[in-house]
Each structure stands twice: as C-alpha cells, then as structure tokens.
Structure 1
Amino acid sequence: MSAEDTAQRPGTDAPAAPRAERPAPASRRQVLKVVLVDVGLPYLVYLGLSVAVGLSDVFALAAAGGVSAAQVVVTYLRHRTVSALSVLILTRFILGVVAGLITGDARIVLVKDSVITGSVGVVAAVSLLLPRPMTYYIRRDFAGDRTSWDRALACSRRFRQVHHTTTMVWAAGLTAEALLRILIAFQLPVSVAAVLSPSLAAGSVLGLIAWTQWYGARTQESVAQELDNAAVRRGT
C-alpha cells in the first residue's frame, strides 16, 4: 500500500481509506485523433473522390480503405498496437470494395454498405457474450493505458456493466443506421442517396463515440467508488 493510501486524514488518528487505481481517463488528444483522422479522413477521401471527382464507388472505397490501412500500419509501427475503431473502419471499406466488385447496380452498392454496417452491429451484439465487449476496446484506446483499464475491468462489476450498456447501444445504433440507409437507397434518387448514405455512416459513428464518452464520464464516479470499496476490502 502506498504512502498516499496509508496517510492519516487531518484531525483523526485513523489512516485514510485506501484508494484503488482508477482506469486512466480518455485523452482529449487521442479522441480528436480518432475522430478526425481514423474516422473523418477516410470518409472525406471517399466522399471527395466519389462525389466531387466522380470516381466509381469501388475506386473511391479502395482509396479510402488505403488511407485507413496506412493509418493502421503507421500506428502499429510507432506504438506496436492498433486502434480497435481504426480496424473497424478499415474492415468496412474492405468489405465495401469486395461487394462493389461483385455488383454494378448503384442501389445495390448502396445497400451493401448497409449490410456491412448491420454486420458490425451483429458483431457488437455477439461481443456481449465475451469478457470484453466491443466498446471496451474502443474506450481503452482513447485512454491509452491498457493496464489500468484491464485491472478496473477485473475488479469492478459496475465498470463491466458500463461497457455492456455502451456495446448494446452501439449494436442497436449500427443496426438502426443500416435499416435507415437501406430505406434511403430505395426511396431517394441515387444521386441524393450516394451523398446522404456515407454521410449518415460517418455521422452515426461520431455520434456513438460522443455518446459513449458522455456516458463513460457520467458513470465514472460510481466506478471509482466501487474500486475504492474493493480496495478497502482487500486491505482488511
């Protein structure tokens, strides 16, 4: 136990209750990097090439996927780790290229993006059965300190509940996005749907990130309290 943990409270003879190690807070710089570079840049490349330049959907997806892949490689070479969200975005682009090569119908190309999104939603739902659900990896990447997060997950039931809740929201949100994009593909003109559909995809991911960060901050105190209580029990 550290000196801080055993220090006496002013005016008392009893030592202060031990404080457990908290999961490291999210780095604002890391969150901005993920939002602007990992998510925003590939989608901007895709929209720029497909809408502004007029390249085919497959070429635009391949270029955006190349940007995403380069980010994953650079991050791995620098830090020997990869961002879960970067891999998720890269997977969506790769599957989009494969699906685009199979069919040339514009509406089907739009729908296949929705199917890919829905599949990611299913993956999120399935991850609820695992010890570490999908959003745990995403939020841990924002913090950058894996050790403190792994310890908190092992010691705090509340911490585990938080990530089950956020993962359920991601599963529901991605599934809802997929259904809405299918509706857009068949109900709106192709020229409108081609712009609106990828914009909705980027917006939904950014919205889910924002909500996840808000919910994590809202529940931070209850997680910290449970970790402190566990530390007290271990010290008695």
Structure 2
Amino acid sequence: MLESFLPLIVDVAIPLASYYILSDGFGLSTVAALGWSSVLPALRTLWGVVRGSGVNGLALLILIVNIASLVVSTMSGDARLMLAKDSGVSSMVGIAVIISVFMGRPLMTAGLKPWVTKGSAAGNAAWDRLIAESAPFRRAERRFSLIWGTVLLVECVAKVIGAYTVPVHTMVWLGTVLTVVALLLAMVIAGGSCADPMEKMVKAEVKRDADTRHGEAGMAAPDAQVAEPVLQ
C-alpha cells in the first residue's frame, strides 16, 4: 500500500506542504517557495532513471521537462509562470504518449503490462501471444495510452488557465487537486475500459494454454502404457 501511494506523496503532498511551510513559515518569496518545493519531485524522477536497469522513456521525459521548466521559471522570477510550468510536464508527456500510440509503441505499456500479467512468466507469455494474434487486445493496449495522453492534455489546459486567472496562493493547492483528479479519472476510465478487459483476456489465455498442456500430457500417458509391454 505504501509503495503504491509513495509517488503521490512525493510528487504531490510533500511539494504542497513544503510550499506553504517555506512561504508562510519561513517567509520565503512565492517564487523561491515554488522553486524549492519542486526540487524533490525532480530528484525522485532522476533517481528512478538512475536506478533502473534501462532508461524508461516516460521517466526520462518527465525529468527533462521538470528540470527545463524549473530553470526557465526560476530565471524569469514569475510565480505564475512557475505554476504554469506544471502544465508543461503534463502537456509534453501527454503529447509524447499520444504520438507513441500512432507510432505503434505506446509509452504507457511499460506500466500496463506488469499490472495485467502480474509479473508471472505465464502471464507474460500470454501477453506476447495476444499482442501478436489478437486485434482487440492490441486496440485496448493503444486505447489505454491514448486515454492517459488525452487526460494529461486536458489537465494542462486547466492548469494554464488557472495559473493566470486564480490567485497564486489558491492555485498552489488547486493545481494539486487538478492533478489528483486527472490521475484518478485516467485510472478509472483507462482501467475499466482497457486494463480490466486485457487482464481477463490474459487470464483466459493462460488457462487455455494450461488446458492444452494438460491435454497433451494426458494423451501421451496412454501411449507410454501401451508401449511398456512391448518393451518387456
């Protein structure tokens, strides 16, 4: 449970709390508080890239956008721009995810596959067969990433509008609310329409493969019993 909620705590709860502590408790300026509260999520993304056995394209993209937007907004000294930079992360990631769908390499599959297969060898083998043989399965895989990309783009638009129309102090927590709502919305829509059906298809494929193996083993046993008297 803790592992599941850790990204939400590090990327949302801690930056939100640290902003108000730094601005209200220590008297830092709005720009400085926003800047320092953005450091931890960037470091967490960097650590995720460094400790991984390979480079995760999505994590690397988020890291680059985080660093670039933080540098630009800090140099500008514009608090509203620093708030809007969060939408830059959402928009860049959303656009990249959508493009990856049309390129045939959906970015969200990296997180979808372990969830659907539960990390088992049989599940992974079933996934590979379904990807190669099942058009509905491939459509669900692409649709999963497309939903996530679209939701992230919508969140981007909402944050940009809020950054330049809502008071900064209010937009800090409101932006967090928008992020959480967007994540939950994407999870519910993409999970119900894509991940759940795909998981059922994988389970059915695993069962079918197990039944086939069992049937082949059952057919081989009588042959061995018939051959035994001949050998004697």
Shared fold (TM-score, shorter chain, > 0.5)? yes
1:112 paired with 2:90, answer no
Counterpart in 1 of 2:14?
A: 45
Q: Is the 8 A contact 2:144 2:190 kept in 1?
A: yes
2: CA distance between counterparts of 1:36 and 1:92?
23
Percent identical: 22
Q: Which aligned pairs between 1:203-218 and structure 2 lie closer than 5 A?
A: 203-215=181-193, 216-218=195-197
Q: 1:131 aligns with which of 72, 97, 104?
A: 104
Residue 121 of structure 1 deviates from its aligned partner by: 1.2
Verify: 1:68 aligned to 2:37, yes or no. no
How far apart are residue 144 of structure 1 and its match? 3.4
In the alignment, what sits opposite 1:195?
A: 173
State the match for 2:225 in structure 1.
none
- TM superposition shift of 1:43: 2.0
Match of 2:20, as an amino acid?
V
Note the 1:42-191 alignment, pairs <5 A. Answer: 42-54=11-23, 56-74=33-51, 76=52, 80=53, 86-87=59-60, 89-142=62-115, 143-145=118-120, 147-148=124-125, 149-191=127-169
- Between stretches 138-147 and 109-118, larger displacement belongs to 138-147
**Contact kept? 2:15, 2:37, Cα under 8 Å:** yes
Alpha-carbon distance in structure 2 between the residues aligned to 1:160 and 1:91: 30
Provide the secondary structure at the position in 2 that maps to 1:132: coil
Query: CA separation of 1:96/1:48 partners in 2, compared to 1, >3 Å: closer, same or farther?
Result: farther
Aligned residues: CA RMSD: 3.2
The higher relative CO (CA closer than 8 Å, separation ≥ 6) is in 1
Higher mean C-alpha displacement, 199-208 vs 127-136: 199-208
| 1:129 to partner: Cα distance | 1.9
Mark the CA change 1:88 to 1:153 in structure 2 (over 3 Å): closer, same or farther.
farther
Q: In structure 2, give the amino acid aligned to 1:144.
A: G
TM-fit CA distance, 1:128: 1.2
Q: Tell me the amino acid that sits aligned with residue 97 of structure 1.
A: L
Residue correspondences, number: 197
Structure 1 regions of 5+ residues with no counterpart?
A: 1-28
- Greater Cα offset, 189-198 or 150-159: 150-159
Instruction: Give the C-alpha shift of residue 141 in structure 1.
Output: 3.9
* Distance in 2 between residues matched to 1:104 and 1:86, nearest whole Å: 27
Give TM-score scaled by structure 1 length: 0.68
CA shift digits 1:36-71 (9 cap, x unpaired): 123432222211221233352222111221133334
Kept in 2, the 8 Å contact 1:125–1:167? The answer is: yes
Counterpart-to-counterpart distance in 2, 1:214 and 1:85: 23
Q: Is the 8 Å Cα contact of residues 58 and 93 (structure 2) preserved in structure 1?
A: no
Change (3 A) 1:133 1:120: same
Letter paired with 1:180 = A
Q: Quote the Cα distance in structure 1 between the aligned partners of 2:48 and 2:8.
A: 11
- Report the CA distance shift for 1:160/1:126 in structure 2 as closer, same or farther (over 3 A): same
CA contact (8 A) 1:158 1:223 kept: no
Q: Which residue of 1 aligns with 2:228?
A: none
Answer yes or no: is the 8 Å Cα contact 2:45–2:62 preserved in 1. yes
Moved more, 185-194 or 53-62: 53-62
For residues 67 and 122 of structure 1, the distance between their equivalents in structure 2, rounded to whole angstroms, comes to 22
